[in-house]
Each structure stands twice: as C-alpha cells, then as structure tokens.
Structure 1
Amino acid sequence: MHEKTEAMLPAVTEVLDAPERLGALYAAVPDMAIPDGDFEGLARLAASLFDAPIALVSLVDREWQWVKAAVGTTEARFRSEESFCIHTITEADDHAFVVLDASRHPAFRSWRKVAGAPFLRFYAGVAIVLDGQAVGTVSVLDVAPRLEVTAKQQDELKKIAGIAAAMLKLKEEARRRALKEAALSREEQRLAMALDAANVGSWLWDIRSGTVAGNGAMMRMFGLPSERTIAAKAVFSAIHPEDRIPTFSKLRQAMAANEEYDGMFRIGANGRWLLGRGRVHDRDSKGAPLTFLGMTVDVSEQQAAVQRTRLLLKELNHRVKNTLAMLQSLARQTLRQTSDPAAFMTAFAGRLQAISEAHGLLSDYEWGTIRLAELISKQLLPYVSDYGEQVELHKDEISLGPDQAVGLGLVLHELATNAVKYGALSVPKGKVVLTARRVVEDGESVLHLTWTEVGGPAVREPRRRGFGSILIERSLDKVIGSSVKVEYLPAGVTALIRLPL
C-alpha cells in the first residue's frame, strides 16, 4: 500500500501521453464514450469487497477518465487532472494505489470534489493492463476516510482488474473477428453479384446430404426454382437425358482421381449448352469426398457458332466441288470456241471472275443469302465507266441463295460481255435497264428479271449460237423451273429471266 506525494505528479503527464499506452487503449476500445453493461458486475463486486458507496471501471486517455460501468454515480466521464485514477495509471505495478484520507493529502486536499461536495476522502484503485500498457482502472471511493486497506482486499481488487483486462481483450478480439467476417461477407456479396452479373453459375454440392446450393445464375441456367438450396437429384434431372449419365460419370471419375472436372452438357428443358468446371472441396478422414465446388457458364452461343462453322465448311466443301466441276465445263466449252490462247484466257478469266464475285458475296454472308442489287453491281461495275448513268435498275427487295447467285452471276456476266462487244455498252450513250420483280405463281415466289439494252447500235440476231449464248441459257440449270430467253430486237438485246426464289 502506497500514499503518493506531490513529488511524483510531473510523471503523470508523461505516462498519460505515451504513444504506446494510447495505441493499446484505442486499439482495444475505439469508442470509449459508450458505457458497457458487461462490466457492471465487476463494479458491484469491487464495491462489495470494500463496502464502498462508489465503484468504477474506467478507461483513461489524455484528457478524460471514461466510465464504462459504475456503482454510486451516474457521471460518464471526469477530467483527468482531478482524477485519482491517473495516479493509478502512473503506478501501473502489482500494487494498488491507495489514498486513505484525501483531505489530509497535500496533492489532493484542494481538489474540487475533495474540498467540496461530495467531499471524497478514500480511494483505492488497480490498473487495467493490456499488452503491457495501463489503459484504465478498477477503483472504489468513499466519502469517509479509512484507516487501512488489507492485503487481501488489494489482491482481490487486482483480480477484478485482471478480469476487466481479459474482458477487454476478448471484446477486442471479437470486434476484430466481426470486422473480418463483415469484410468477408461484403467480399462474398461482391463476388456473388459479379458472378450473377456475368451470368456465371456457382454451386456447392453437399454429397452426404444430397443437396446443391447455387447462386441465381446457376438456377436460371438449369431452369430450376430460385431457391438457393435444392436436391442434387433435381439438378442432375435437369440435364439432357443423352448427356446425364456421361456428365455424372465424369464427375465421379474426377472425384475418385482427385482431379478437376471439366465437361459440357445440355439442359433438357431448353437445349442450352453449359460448360461445367469444379473439384472436390473437402474430404472426410478416410478420404471420401464431402463437398464438390463448381461453376457453370452458358456456352450456347459458342456452340451455335461452332455448329455454324461446321455447316459452313460442309456447304463450302459442296460449293467447291460444284465450282470445280463448273470450271472444268467452262474451260472445255470455252476452249472449243477458240483456238487462240489469248482469246481463251480473256473469255475464261472473265467467266472465272464472275463466279469469284458471286462466291465472294456468298462468303461474306456465310453462304446464306445475298441481295440481288449487290450481285448486279458486282457483275456490271467492271464493264461500265459510269454505273449510275449506264445501269438503270428498277427492283423489289430480293434475296438469292447460293445456286441462284452463282448461276445468275454468270448470266449477267455473259450479257454484260456481249453488251460491251456488240451492244449498248459498246457506245458512250448506251445503257442497260434492269427490272426485277417478285411475283407469286401457283403460291410460290418467282423472280422476273428483264435485261433491256437501249441506245446502242442496231442489233442483228447472230447466225451461229456461240458458247456465250449457250452459257446464258444453261447457267441456271441447277435451279429447277428457271429459264432464260434472249431476244435480239433491233433496238437492243432483251433477256427475260425467270428464277424461282
């Protein structure tokens, strides 16, 4: 038991302001102004131990003594400069700081609460120590002086202060744990939101309970109710019957080999393709899998693109074979019409270019359909100096398939070649008028295309039919029901083309 004299008071400020002490205090209790009912039992125990009317569990910073729990007072804080507890903080050893009669103590007798109401006389306090730093006190006060404090009373008060320190430490750890859990929860929420926004399904298969917990994206992909947990049987039943057994077998194989599962399957209800990946998350003491963690991504568009590519390659293979056969025939027929190599190359190259232009357009549209106007423009542009002036086009919006486009492209090429050599496109003022109309015949759509040359030299019907004329008539043979009729009228060549659409 010690009674401190005024000589030690200058050390108080140095101890109170120590960064290490304040750091330990603020780390343990960020907000000291809030009372804590968990400490009320300790305050009552201290008051009972000393049969004192006032008992405090307090924390002390630079300026204030903050009351966390109290008996005999409702005050929440005291100024540090008139606090007995700052001397207890300074003491901070294994002894209690005791003042038997403050009215007779040179350092305390002039204090406001000693010289005036409530006329405090007795004080005994022990420091609450955290990480080697005195951050607060457990103390008792009385308005009557005491003659002595027993060693047992001091020991018991130290035990109470030790319990207060342990409680503060536990509360600090609990608070830190709660902050970490809250941060983890926020991170999990952000991750869940990101996965859902990216339409990535995440799921956890509890093998023992036979349930699957999945996010919203996963449930939507499988066409299942929005519940977060569902029977695993329902999940596997959602897989397309043809893919169900292979998928389940692959999962079992991955679990047995402790490898990553990687597989693709369809959903039975909508036929969409899903890519699944995952692996065993944890096992029991015998190595049996307990949970399986995985993710799924909708790859229907990619699968559709793959399928389109396969179909395109198949169509391209078919077209190449047809084109090669056509080129062979063109080469033979062109060669029969001329023995001049230069003339052969000119004629054959032009026909090859016509086929190439049609193929190029079809390739741009993935061998689907192309617009008639684009085909006409591609075939006639090389043969006119001013397309707008020399080609007059009146048309409906019409799309052509591959056979139609290649055949009609050759017809247009041959007509344009003849027009440049002998017809309207052989003179500056001549032009070609094309009229394309969609008509319905016997319930089916048919293209009626008229080629009319105007402004050119007078036309005479040729005495001998050349390969060009034959090619005009035969180019559309692949399209059943098609026909081409060429009329050599004096005013200009006219071609009437009928082409089922």
Structure 2
Amino acid sequence: MTEADRLDALHAHNILDTAPEVGFDDIVRLATRLCDAPVALISLVDADRQWFKARAGFEPSETPIEQSVCKHAIGHRDLLVIPDLSMDARTRSNPLVLNNPYLRFYAGAPLVTPEGLTLGTICVIDHAPRPGGLTDGQADDLRALARQVMSLMEMRRLIASRGDLLLQAEQQRKKATHEHLELSAMFDQAPSFMALLKGPDHVFDLVNPAYCRLVGSRQLIGRTFAEALPDAAQQGYMDLLHEAYRSGQSFTQTGARYAIQTDPHSPVDERFVDFVCQPTRDEKGIVTGIFIEGSDVTEHVRQTRRTSALADLSEQLRDLSDANDIARAAAECLAQAIGGSCIGFGKVDLGHEKIEVPVDWCDASGVSVVGSHHFRSFGSYVEDLKRGETVIIPDVEKDPRTASQSDGLEIIHSRALLNLPIMVRGVLDTVIFVLNAQVREWTSEEIDLVRQVGDRTHGAIARARAEQEQHILNEELSHRMKNTLAIVQAIATQTLREVTERGAVTALTQRIGALSRAHDALLKTRWASAALQDVATATLAAFDQTGRFQLNGPTLQIGPRATLSLSLLLHELATNAIKYGALSVQEGQVAITWGIEKGDEEDILRMSWTETGGPPVHQPSGKGFGSRLISMGLIGTGGVELRYNQSGLIASMEAPLSQMQQP
C-alpha cells in the first residue's frame, strides 16, 4: 500500500481539526500516568503536518511534518522507542529537540487500521533521556491504549458514516468494552491512588484500591467528597477541588499533610501525599469533573524529618555542655521527628526503683512529668527495662503490664508509651520515654530513631558530666597554684628583706604577680588559650594607671606559652614607662595596638607599644634582666624593634600567628 492509500484512510475518518473529545483526552492522561511521562499525544500524521487529537503536557495543537517524530513510526507495526532523541540520527536535528521544549525520550505505539495502514501514534515523551526505555508492562499498556484509540476512531467513523453495518458496530462495541475492561484493570492495579469526581459537588464516580487504602474503609461511590471525607474537607481539600472546577486549571501539591481519622475512637493518622487535581471536560470543553491522581509519600517525609532531626541534634550537642540542656535538645529532636505528648530522659535510681526527670518536652495535650517518680506507679514494666528490653505499649489499657495503672497514666495523658533503656556496664542507667495521648502503633523506624537519639544524648551527657568534673578539678588546681605563687611571692619577699637593693626585690615580686594574672586569664579557658586583650588588660591593670592605656586590635586567642611571654613583656614595658617614659608624667599616654598581616608563608601577628606625651627617651647604656625580657619578644624568640624617639618609646613586635596560638 502507498502513502496515498494511507492519507486516504486518514481523511476517511474525518477526524482532523475536530474539537476535543473526553474519550481521547482521558486516554492521554492515563498514558502519562501509566508510563510516568510528562507528555502524551494522540498524533495523526498528515501530508505536511502532524495534528494532535488529544494532548497532555504539550501546548501546540499541531507541528510541521519536519518537526514530527511520529512520522518515523509510519510503517511500523509495533512500538517505536527512541531512548535519547538528541543522539538518534533521525531526530537529533529536530527543532523540538534542539530548542524548547527540549524533548529527549520518545515511545510511540502506531495507530494501525484493520487494513494495516498507520494513521499516526499514541506516544509518550519525556524531557530527559531514558536509556532503559519503557518497562514491559508500560509497553503493553501503551499498545493497549493504541488499540483503544483505534477503537474510538473506528466507532467515530462508523457513527459518522451511518451506513456501516450494525454488526460491525456491535463488534467494535465489544472490542471497546474489552479494551475498557483492560483499562479498568490497569486503573485498579496502578500503584498511585486515583479517583474521578463528577459535577460541582464532586461526587465520587470512580476510585481505585490505592485511593481506598489511603482514606480507609469508607463508602465513596455516589457520595459527595464532603459527605464521604469530612475530615479532608475540613483540612481545606474541598476548597482546592472547588477552585480547580471553577478555573479549569490543574492543581498540584507535594508533601501535603492529610490527618485521617476513620472513626471518632481511632487515633489520628498523619499522612503526606503528592497529588494532582486535573479537571475533565466534555466534547465542548466544559469542565465536568475532577480526576485526582497521586502517591502516598508519608514514609519519605517521615524519613526526611528523622534525618533532619538527627542532623540538627548533632549540631546542637557539639555546643551544649549542660546535661539538662542536652536532654531538652534531645527531647525536642524526638518531638520534631516522631511527635508525642510528652518526651524526656530520666536518670534511674535502681536501688529504690525511682526515676528522676530533670526536664521534658510537652505538646498542647501533654502533662509535664518533671520530678521524681516510682517506676511501679506506672506499671510493672520496670522489670523489662532492667533486662535492657525496650518497652513498647500501643494501648496502656490493654497491656497487662500497665492495665492496673491506666487511671494514673491517664492523668498524665499517656494512653500509649515507649520506654527505651540505656544500659551502662549491663546496668539500667537512663530511660528515654515517649508518651502519647492516644492509642499508637510504634513503628520500627521510630524505635530505631529513639535508640539513635538515646545513644548520642547519653554520650553527650556523659561528656558534659566529665567536663564538669574536670572543670571542678581545674578550679581546685588553679586555687592551689595561686596559693603556691602567693607563697613563692611571700617567701621571696621574706628571703630578700635584708637586700638593700629594693628595686630588684620589687621587680621580682611584681613579675611573679604578672605570671599569676596570666594564669588567671588562661584558667578561663582551662589553659587552652586566652584572649589577647584580656591578657593585656589584666597585666596593665596592676599598674593603677586607669585611662592612660589605649588598647586596640581584633579579637584573638593566644596559647598558654604566648600568654605567659606577653604578660612578662607588657609588665616590663609598663614598668619602664612609669620609671622613665610616658607614664612618668601626668600627661603621658600609651597606645597598644595589634593586627594580623599576610606573610609570604603564614600570617604574622604585629603589635606595637607607642608612648606619647612623656619626656624624651634614650636607649639605656646597660642591659638588665628587664631589657632582656623585652628583647625576647612575644614568644621568647625575638622579633622586637625599639625606637627611642623624642616623642617617646615605640616598640614594634611580631611573631608567626601559628606560634602565638600553639597550645
């Protein structure tokens, strides 16, 4: 058969340039879902164009034949699949591939007449390549849809011609019925939930099993959305349907929350869904209903929450040092990830079977349980905890371990509970508890999350307690060291009381004092480092020259060695300034400035001591111990330049920043 025969057959169907029809529109919508593709077309290939009887996800109603991919399916009896249009010699120069909308994947099932003539295709298109093409199931579905299209076209042609035999019409009807049954089977088996609502009141006309599973065991068909699903209507979903019906525009939401309660006595089940509301139209283009399609993404949302909550908790635990703050952060983490009415940590007194709860987290329905409690006030499950077993109770009224204490548990709004023990050397040490105001089935993922939070929190609390004990020890050592330095200072004073050169004695005791003040500055950070400005302020404060020292420089931490060297250096400079320099007169001032500069290999700390307003100064003829201390510089290795100007002494000092910050 020739191309002319094919075109004659196409034109004989009298379908080109006709108005949209619901049957064809429904088929392309179903094709996008079955094949998980954003675009589906019923394409009829004419001599100089391809015209689309129905389309989803593609705006133009036709394209020139030069831009047609479907033309390559002409003559094929089975699917034409092109995994990547940009790599196929037949399509890589197509403007629709090179330019917007940048088509990449194509799969078309030919629309073949009983005579074997291909009129066009039903095709699905994606904007991303699909190296694997379609699955076997999707390929079979697309073939079935192609047969359904041809059935509709044949039925349309038969009705239009009015001269075809009634027998042929009956045969086509049976075939269409069979194809409809196939479509119904695919509709029922689809993993995504689907429902068709009719009219402005949104009456359920079709629902698939996945939709029924989502909303629970309810009567839907023939009932309005508001009647069948009042809980969904109260959550704003009725407003979305009204807007989609009124505007005729599709509506999409991702991760939408749907709190479902199938009856007043059942717990609320929080679900999350991705869905599309797609208006359906009649042959005149008038909206007749809404087709809903979507997926239950609850577990994905919950997993995302759990992962995010754990990451947030890890960030917080790095900065927290108080055990109560750590426990509070962990409780809030669990609240964010899995929810509950009251969540907290309790320290166990195993000998008295008591639990001490320092802090907890409660929602609007929760009752705080901060304080000391006897375990057996809540049931007999303490024996399970002692053995290191997690206690999972979905309903305290039905569990034999808690049934006798359910009234007491009701007072704290605990209808369900989860207790996870933390054992230390095989002995129960801490319990993480999650209380729920309603009956609740605890999932393995939730239990695993509680266990992860418990392990991290217990470790952080142990670290905080160890650091607190170390801090107390450091305070005691510091106190003793200060006493030792005071004793050394007293011994030096007493030992040297007969020395006639009192200046040397005073200098020695003052230097010991400078070391003591440097020690105090380091103690603030447990001898890890000290703020440079704090060191300078503490050292110079001993000279009782309020307002005569100006300090200016960036915030900077320096190590213990640099702290001691800097204290002695500033002490000697200040002592000399009081004796001979700017501080020997009332008008004198001293400016101490510092900053960090980029060096060839590493950053350099530069500090200057500048005296003004004092008498002219001269370089000393000798070099005593104080002068040698100054010449040793910021870290005891030199790097000092002294300029004795008429305006006053200027001391410029530098040292590698890395050495200044060495522990």
Q: Which has the larger radius of gyration?
A: 1
- Please tell me the TM-score bracket, short chain as reference: 0.3 to 0.5
Higher RCO structure, 1 or 2 (CA under 8 Å, sep 6+): 1
Q: TM-score, normalised by structure 2?
A: 0.31
